[in-house]
Amino acid sequence: MADVFVQSKIREGKVTLFVKRGCPYCRNAVEMLKRYSFVPGCLQVFDITGLEDAQDYLQQTTGQRTVPHVFMGRHCLGGLSDLENIEWKLPEMLRRLGVLQ
């Protein structure tokens, strides 16, 4: 069930974040990405607070237990620190993905 939920949210041509309410790392990741002018619907944020089975599935598939989980298309980028590490090339990556206006 969790696998169907998670896989149904991850799409080519979109940036998808799985976050938990109240998590400062999640908030920072969302704020960092919201600085860009996304095509409507191309930045998706899903709150998995209380969905332990979804978090377990994400850990099984990505090797990462912590949130946020950041996906560019179907590729798992990682978490906030991974996003921060590529911040300098993020505009080009987002352009190539076709998610910017």
CATH class for the region spanning 2-97 = alpha beta
Give residue 41's pLDDT: 96
pLDDT tens digits for range 30-89: 999 999 999 999 999 999 999 999 999 999 999 998 999 999 999 999 999 999 999 999
Give residue 1's pLDDT: 86
92 burial via Cβ count (<10 Å: 0-12, 13-18, 19+): exposed
Q: What's the half-sphere exposure (Cβ side, CA atoms, 13 Å) at 89?
A: 7
Structure tokens at 31: 């704020």
What's the pTM value of the predicted model, to 2 decimals?
0.94
